[in-house]
Amino acid sequence: MSDSNSFSEQEKIDSLEARVKSLERQLKRQKIARKNAESLLDTYSQDAYLANQSLRKSLNDAKKRERELLYLNRTAAQLTKSQSGKGFIFSALASAVEFIGACCGKAYIVKNGALTAGDDDTVLLEDGEWQSNPELAKLLLNELPIHLEENYEHWCINVVDRPDTHQEARVLHFMHEVNEDEYAWFALLTYDDHLDEEMLYVLDTTKHYINFNSRYQHKKSKLSIQQDELSSVKKDRDSLEERLISADKMAMLGQLAAGIAHEINNPIGYVRSNTVVAKEIFSDYQHALDEIGKLCDEAGGEISEKFNACTKGYSLNESAIEIAEMFDESLEGIERIIDIVKALRSFSYPGSGKHVKLSAIDAINSAMKLTSNLHRYKNHVSLVAEQGDVSFMGNAGQIQQVLVNFLTNAIYATEEGKHIYLRVERKGDKALLIVQDEGVGMSQVVLEKVFTPFFTTKPPGDGTGLGMSISMTIVEEHGGFIDIKSEEGVGTEVTLQLPLV
């Protein structure tokens, strides 16, 4: 019994020992498994941390690249807006301040050694707003070698103490030559020294963009000047073509006038001669009739009565007076035709461009005769020469062309019944030929364009707009000039000044 109990207890002990050993083995395996799990978890956690850090770095790099691309894209887009040099500089400044997250920025422009932009107290903030801050504006200006006249190759960085926060900061700056003797300065104030080399490299593209814009604006300005010159040449060419056409028409008109003058001159000579002779013959007949009348009166009686009756019946006395007046009027008309022919001949043969001594009164009289059909029944045209006649050197046909143009314009602008005065005056060593009308006058705008080729206030078809332009050219070739005074509703006074002989 006791042996049996001992054996049972021993079995229990052995069983418990085996159980303990089994538990120890399980615990050991669990410790190893736990250690392995902890090691694996530590490795996984470290890998996760490294992956997270790498992801964060990639995300930051992506954001940085995005900012760089946005900055480059924005700066490049500004080139397409064709801004002026100054406008592009300030746009580039705003992009740079936003790109690097600067505290503020400012641009300065120096021309011929003087500050022409940036001499105020404002600075550009990161949000694109300009704010008054005299301390920061002064700080930025003091950090720039403003009188330097050599371009920087890259951005320069100065370490400064901010006067507002008394903390260390950085000033980035560079200078660009915009034009000859004109320089642009950029200055950016950053919070710290967080800018890396790559960001500065990207920021450095601002300089290249400004250089490109400057060259573009220079080429654009040069092209604009060339286009203006080309346009001016085209206008001059068109003007010359029109003047050549006008000159050709004037030459044809001159030939026609010469032909008419020649054709009229011969027959009018016969008419004049015959009229003078007929007047003399009629005068002889009248004297003879008077003698017959005296003889009849001396004879008296029936002879005298019949003669007197015949004289009254045929109105011989009245007819004789009327015929005498007709002869006088005819001769006056013939003389007028002869004067017109002379004026036409003078207009047609200007003396091959030679200048001769001319009379101002004769020149004006010729112009009056050539335009008589325009003003005879419309205006009162009179010549005033209180100081007497004056002489000058000139081409008779060309001077006549100028005066005819002045007088024609005056007639056109003057209402029926009103006066046009032509005056001859002397002023120092100048001869003044003046055409003054009581017409509608001209406004200041019209007066400024009066010598512009093809400018006219006449209806289409009534004028070419070349008269005053050609007149100015002729007068300048004669060493004179034209002065015009006009007032709307009062009239116009055109003065031709030429050197006295």
pLDDT at 151 over 70: no
pTM, two decimals, is 0.39
Q: Is residue 482 part of a domain?
A: yes
User: Does 498 lie in the same domain as 375?
Assistant: yes
**Average pLDDT of every residue of the chain:** 79
Helices (H), 358-488: 360-370, 372-375, 396-413, 444-449, 467-477
Q: Is residue 75 part of a domain?
A: no
User: Which of 301, 325, 349 is at the close of a domain?
Assistant: 349
Q: Is residue 450 part of a domain?
A: yes
Mean pLDDT throughout 119-135?
87
User: Which of 181, 203, 225 is at the close of a domain?
Assistant: 203
Look at residue 499 in the predicted model and tell me its pLDDT: 93
CATH number at residue 384: 3.30.565.10
pLDDT tens per residue, range 454-478: 677 777 655 656 678 778 888 888 9
Q: Is residue 218 part of a domain?
A: no
Look at residue 433 in the predicted model and tell me its pLDDT: 95
Tell me how far apart the alpha carbons of residues 123 and 19 are, in angstroms, rounded to a whole number.
Answer: 85
Q: Which of 238-247, 260-269, 309-318, 356-365 has the lowest mean pLDDT?
A: 238-247
User: Does 371 lie in the same domain as 280?
Assistant: no
The total number of structural domains that make up the chain? 4
Mean pLDDT throughout 414-418?
92
Q: What is the DSSP letter of 243?
A: H
pLDDT tens per residue, range 324-349: 888 888 888 888 777 667 656 655 55
Domain housing 148: 81-203
Mean pLDDT throughout 122-138?
88
pLDDT at 252 over 90: no
pLDDT tens per residue, range 30-54: 888 888 888 887 887 787 777 777 7
307 bridge partner residues: none
Q: Is residue 230 part of a domain?
A: no
What is the rounded (10 degree) CA torsion for 126, 127, 129, 132?
A: -50
Q: Is residue 219 part of a domain?
A: no
User: Does 300 lie in the same domain as 252?
Assistant: yes
Q: Is residue 341 part of a domain?
A: yes
User: Does 372 lie in the same domain as 499?
Assistant: yes
Tell me how far apart the alpha carbons of residues 222 and 175 are, in angstroms, rounded to a whole number.
Answer: 24
User: Does 480 lie in the same domain as 375?
Assistant: yes
Q: Where would I find the beta strands (DSSP E) of 75-181?
A: 104-111, 114-117, 122-125, 130-132, 156-161, 168-179
Highest mean pLDDT pick, 29-38, 96-105, 231-240, 397-406: 397-406
- Distance in Å from the first CA to the final CA of the chain: 177
CATH number at residue 99: 3.30.450
Look at residue 193 in the predicted model and tell me its pLDDT: 60
Q: Is residue 74 part of a domain?
A: no
User: Does 181 lie in the same domain as 117?
Assistant: yes
pLDDT at 497 over 90: yes
